Structure 1
Amino acid sequence: MAHRYSLAQLTVLGWAPPEMIYNAHTLGYDCVGIRSITMGVKGENDYDIYRNREMFDLTRRAMDETGVVINDIELAKIADGVDVRNYEGPFEAAAELGVKNVISSIWTDKKDFYLDQFATLCDLAKQYGITVNLEFVTWASIRTLKETREVLDTVKRDNAGIMVDTLHLYRSRVDPAELDDCPKELFHMAHICDGPAEIPDWDDKESLIHTGRDERYYVGEGAIDIADIVRRLPDDVVLSIELPHLKREGSWGSMEHAKRCLSTAKDYMVENGIL
């Protein structure tokens, strides 16, 4: 089975969901991932399709007219001062559009708290037929595959999965062979991009965040063995291209940048014998 390709919101942060869907269709993407739960990061807009019913209707129309589906929403973060039950509205809207995945990550060191919140999040999402894909992020509290497995093994929810981002896996110094020890049913999607060979220290969050949010590389352009990672994942995993590069997007325009994201990824996969 050939992989499907998705366009992640962070790649084109300025595109609202309807525009994103129409443009993704033009460029040849199969699906998109939208940020209907805002994080308040630099350059992020409010794409809350639950509260903004006009945007919801336009998004549904774009899906109907193009056949492009929404693979996932983000970001259902777990953090101090955040009640995950507040994500029910976005889950309800996503379910109305047929969305099956939400991305989550953990930003607090309070273990009992984040385990309880993650379990509650999974239970809430299950009511809407949604899988919670826990992402380990290099500058977050849960930042390795081992730590992510510990969360899933503790909460034991059948709609919990693991979201691998190739940049975070590389920069968190995770051996791709660790993926072989994970049940394949835990993987539903992956974020792909490339990056430089050098890895900043754990405490150099400014450098980690800069590359992650502003200057990721096209697939095959950097030092990450993306093919080795993808080969260890199920054949039906959706490959979501999360590849913000503010300088290139500013110089070439968002449309050209998103086009190159897809073409370089597909060329790389063909060169490495991956469909």
Structure 2
Amino acid sequence: MSALTLKDIALGWLTVADAGHVGLIEGAAECGFGSISLKLLPAAGDPVPPVIGDPVMIRDIRRALSGSGLPLLEMGGIWLRPDTRIADTLAGLDLGADLGAKYVVVVGGDPDRNRLQDNLSSLTEAADARGLGVAIEFVVYTEIKTVEDALAIALATGRPNCGVLVDALHLDRSGGTPKNLEGIPADRVFVGQLCDAPASKPPTMDALRYEGRSQRFSPGGGDLPLRDLLAKLPAGVPLEIEVPRADLAHLPPRQRLRVIAEETSAFLASGL
């Protein structure tokens, strides 16, 4: 990959989640990003308000997307937990598809692999009926920990609309490197997420979770092999930044986003 700019990058919702859905869209357009992700089905503890059942918010999101011209890359993550009911996700899938999302992200939170696989298969079928792909995000502190595990569970659905999301941080913290992507079929890599971090890994799962949710660096600000990762990702795969920054928490969301956008642009301009 070469000559990337922010127009080639989606802004991930977690980067400045406290901006709110509309603020995130407007900020992404103002900073020059080419697309956006939104968390349409928040999980407990997510710093964004619920959307389903709020017609005013849905109207405002629709207007903001239309006014910005930004396409919706993905509609955020669904955690598959022991108590997950796929029927409860259908309204969110309907809204995501209606807003033009390409993917719904899935995170594994169920230690019962058979139930996790069954729920993933049902969700993938429902997403397929709505024209959505399902991108599995592997995270070392969840029940789908590595890119190889994510691929295996995606293939087991038997549907081509199920693949993997490769997050630079989670790839590194799971013990992987960009070379691991050589074993992943190109048509199963749906999204690449960019951020940076120190080479040293946090010592506990709680610290890893905090890092992933709050303590990332902008691309180029750490030690992750991002250029190698970009070289190994399939040509044309959608790219997204996910850079929640606790060190910038004293700044308003829009100002925080401008800093992240400027740093990301400088990384892209430095050559891939």
TM-score where L is the length of structure 1: 0.92
Paired residue total: 268
8 Å contact kept, 1:109–1:141: yes
2:58 and 2:35 map into 1 onto residues whose CA distance is: 17
1:52 aligns with 2:51: no
1:14 aligns with 2:18: yes
Per-residue deviation at 1:269? 2.6
Cα displacement string for residues 34-91 of structure 1 (whole angstroms, at most 9, x for unaligned residues)? 111111226x13231x311111111111121120121111221111111122111001
2:151 and 2:72 map into 1 onto residues whose CA distance is: 26
1:157 and 1:268 map into 2 onto residues whose CA distance is: 36
Cα displacement string for residues 3-45 of structure 1 (whole angstroms, at most 9, x for unaligned residues)? 5211111111112222211121111111111111111226x13
Per-residue deviation at 1:137? 0.9
8 Å contact kept, 1:16–1:47: no
8 Å contact kept, 1:188–1:236: no
Provide the identity percentage. 23
Could you tell me which residue of structure 1 aligns to residue 263 of structure 2? 264
2:30 and 2:48 map into 1 onto residues whose CA distance is: 23
8 Å contact kept, 2:17–2:24: no
Could you tell me which residue of structure 1 aligns to residue 206 of structure 2? 206
Kindly report the root-mean-square deviation, in angstroms, between the aligned alpha carbons of the 2 structures.
1.6
Higher mean C-alpha displacement, 163-172 vs 73-82 = 73-82
Q: In the alignment, which of 114, 117, 121 is matched to residue 116 of structure 2?
A: 114
Per-residue deviation at 1:245? 1.1
Runs (4+) of structure 1 moved beyond 3 Å?
A: none
Higher mean C-alpha displacement, 134-143 vs 258-267 = 258-267
Please show how residues 1-275 of structure 1 align to structure 2 within 5 Å.
Answer: 4-41=8-45, 44-48=47-51, 50-201=52-203, 204-248=204-248, 250-273=249-272
8 Å contact kept, 2:172–2:224: yes
Unaligned runs of 5+ residues in structure 1 are none
1:180 and 1:272 map into 2 onto residues whose CA distance is: 23
TM-score where L is the length of structure 2: 0.93
2:182 and 2:191 map into 1 onto residues whose CA distance is: 16
8 Å contact kept, 1:227–1:269: no
